[in-house]
Each structure stands twice: as C-alpha cells, then as structure tokens.
Structure 1
Amino acid sequence: MSSGILVIVIVVVVLVAGAALLIPPYLRRKRLRDRFGPEYDRTVEQTEDRRAAERELAQRERRHEQFELRELSAERKEEFTRAWTTVQERFVDQPADAVSEADQLITTVMAERGYPTEGYDQRVADLSVEHATTLGHYRDAHDIAIKQSDGNATTEDLRTALVHYRALFLDLTNGHTTQKKDTVS
C-alpha cells in the first residue's frame, strides 16, 4: 500500500472516530433541547456545566418515566374549571387568598394527574419534562406568592400571579401526557 493511500485511510479513520465521538453528545443535546425547551437553557445557565445540566435533565426524564400519569376525565376537568372560576371570582375581594388557592389548585390537579407533589422544587423538576413551555409561568407565580407572604406584593402583582397560574392550570387540564398509562377518557 502506498504512503498516500495509507494517509488517506488514516485520515478517514480519524474522521469517522471523531464523528462517532461527537455525534452522540450532539444528538443527546438536541433531544434534550427539543424536550425541555427554555428549561434546557435555564438548567445549563444555573449549572454552568453543560454535561452536569444534561445529566440532571436526563435524571428528570428517568424519574418522570416512573410516574403513572393519566388524563383527566371530562367530569374532573369540568370540576377543576369550576374551581378555577371560583378562584378568579374570589380575586375581586380577596386577591391574596385567591393566589394561595390557585397554587393549591395547581397542586391538586397535579396530584390528580399522577404527579408527586412533595415540594415546590421537585414539582418544578417533575413538570419540566412535559410542561416546560409553561413552567416559567409557574415560577413567576410562585415568586409573587413568596413576595406576598413577605407582605411586598401589590394587587397588580397578585393579578399577574393569577394569570401565570392560569397558564399552567390550562396546560395541566387541557394538555396531554406523552405516557398513556391509565388514560381516562
């Protein structure tokens, strides 16, 4: 074999090996970005290490796979919608109470759908797998609720919180799960 052909073979082998090393992380990154949307960027920014952030997101997916998520029945959707309407009506006279009730209703809907509800940070992580597009609303509403508990939220802040909670509420009650375990129609 001539030295020119040997060089070409070596270059091709190096290129194939390089591609084999670079393509899987790229595909994993693309899949996670597609799945988590803005939550991917937020997690990478907070972690400051892309690999660690991607491991965390993959862990969230593995945990999420263990859930037995289900759709809400039409009756339960209607009940929750009536409860949401009551929360909105209560806002007129008791805005702080309405915001607290909205948060509680979100947690109740999550539990009904099959999500664990063991704490705010864990709820956020669990929701991020299928509800990443509305997760920012949940965070913003929660931040305002904390501001309210400190006595620093205005009525306009509370109205904004309620709007944010409504976005997640609608996503949870009208959205569809990618898992089809125990689906209720």
Structure 2
Amino acid sequence: MDTGLVITIVVVLVLIAAAAVLAVPWQRSRRLRSRFGPEYERAVQEHGDRRAAERELTERERRHAELGLRPLSEGARRRFEADWDSVQERFVDSPEDAVRQAHGLVDRLMTERGYPSGDDDRRIADLSVEHGGTVDRYRRARAASERSAAGEASTEDLRSAMVHFRALFHELLGDGSTASAGSAGSDTADPGDPAAR
C-alpha cells in the first residue's frame, strides 16, 4: 500500500473519531434542551456554566427514573376533576381561598401520582423532567399563593396563579406528560369562566 494512501486513511479516521467525540456533548445538550425546555436555560443561568447545568439536569433524570410514578385510576381522575371544578368555582367569590385550595389540590395530585412530598425544591426538580415547560408556571403560582397567604397578592396575581396551577394540574391529570396538556389553558384564560375548565 502506498504511504500517501495510508496517511490519508489515518487522517480521515482521526477526523471521523474527532467528529464523533465532539458530537456526543452536542447531542446530549440538544436532548436535554428538548426535554427540559425553558428549564434548561434556567439551569444554565443558575449555574453560570452549561456543563454544570447539564450534569444537574442529567442527575434529575436519574432521580426521576427511580420515582415509580403511576397513572391515576379513572375514579381518582374523576374525583380530581370534580375537586378542580369546585375550587375554580370558588374563585369568583373568594380568590384567595381558591388559590390556596388549588395549591393544595395540585400538591395532592402530585403525591397521588408518586412525586415525593416534603422538599419543595426537590419536588420542582423532579417535576421539571417531564414538565419543563410548565414547572416555571408552577413556581410563579406557588409564589403568588405565598404572597396571598401574606395578604400581598393582587387579584391579577391570584388569577394568574389559578391559570398556572391549572396548567400543571391538567398535565398531571392526564398521563403525566406534557403531551396530554392540550386542555391546560393559556395565561389569559379566566379561572372563573366555566368554559376555561
């Protein structure tokens, strides 16, 4: 075999190997961005470093896989739907109470599905694996609920909290994935409007 041909083959193989090595992190980043959505960017901002953020997100995936999440029975789904309708109807007359009850209902639903209770930061991290597009809305709803408990939330804060709680509620009520969230509503839906349910 000609020496020039051998060198060319070696160079091509080295380039292919280098491209493969460089592609692995890019593919991991792309997969994590796709899975976590806005939560990916939030993690990068919090860590100030893409690699550190990706390590954390990968760890979240590992922990999430060990949770043993379960779907709801049809009876449980109907009970949760009825409870949500009742909470939402209260919004018109008592928005603070409705937001507090919505928060509690979403927490109960998460527990029923198998998310661990107790550590709010851990629960949010676990939720972010399948609900990366909704988990920040849940954070905002929780913050508004806390402001409401302190008597510092406006009616608009409370309305937004209900809309945000409803988004996660509907995702969790379905099969638990964001794909079942078509009925989650938008930021502009009125929680007191029966058509928004």
TM-score w.r.t. length of structure 1: 0.87
Kindly indicate whether the alpha-carbon contact (under 8 Å) linking 2:131 and 2:177 is maintained by their aligned counterparts in 1: no
Q: CA deviation at 1:170?
A: 0.6
The SS at the match of 2:130 is: coil
Q: Do structure 1's residue 43 and structure 2's residue 48 form an aligned pair? A: no
Indicate conservation of the 8 Å contact 1:71/1:177, yes or no.
no
Determine the structure 1 residue equivalent to 2:154.
154
Aligned residue runs from structure 1 range 4-23, under 5 A: 4-5=4-5, 7-23=7-23
Larger RCO, structure (CA 8 Å, separation 6 or more)? 1
In structure 2, distance between residues paired with 1:2 and 1:81? 75
What residue number does 1:183 align with? none
CA distance in 2, matches of 1:166, 1:175: 15
SS in 1 for 2:129: coil
CA deviation string 1:82-102 (max 9, x = no partner): 111111122222211211111
- Which amino acid counterpart does residue 35 of structure 1 have in structure 2? R
Same amino acid, percent of matched pairs: 51
Aligned AA for 1:141? Answer: A
Unaligned runs of 5+ in 2: 179-197
Question: What code does the residue aligned with 1:40 have?
Answer: Y
Opposite residue 141 of structure 2, the aligned amino acid is A
CA RMSD of aligned residues (A): 1.9
2: CA distance, partners of 1:130 / 1:175: 11
Q: Does the aligned pair in 1 maintain the 2:140–2:164 contact within 8 Å?
A: yes
Asked if the contact 1:70–1:177 (Cα under 8 Å) also holds between the matched residues in 2, the reply is no
**1:47 to partner: Cα distance:** 1.2
Q: Give the match's secondary structure for 2:138.
A: helix
Gapped runs of 5+ residues in structure 1?
179-185
Q: Cα deviations across residues 1-52 of structure 1 (Å, max 9, x unaligned)?
A: 7664455244323312311320111121122122112211221122111111
- Contact 2:96-2:148 at 8 Å conserved across structures: yes
Question: Partner of 2:144 in structure 1?
Answer: 144
Partner of residue 90, structure 1: 90
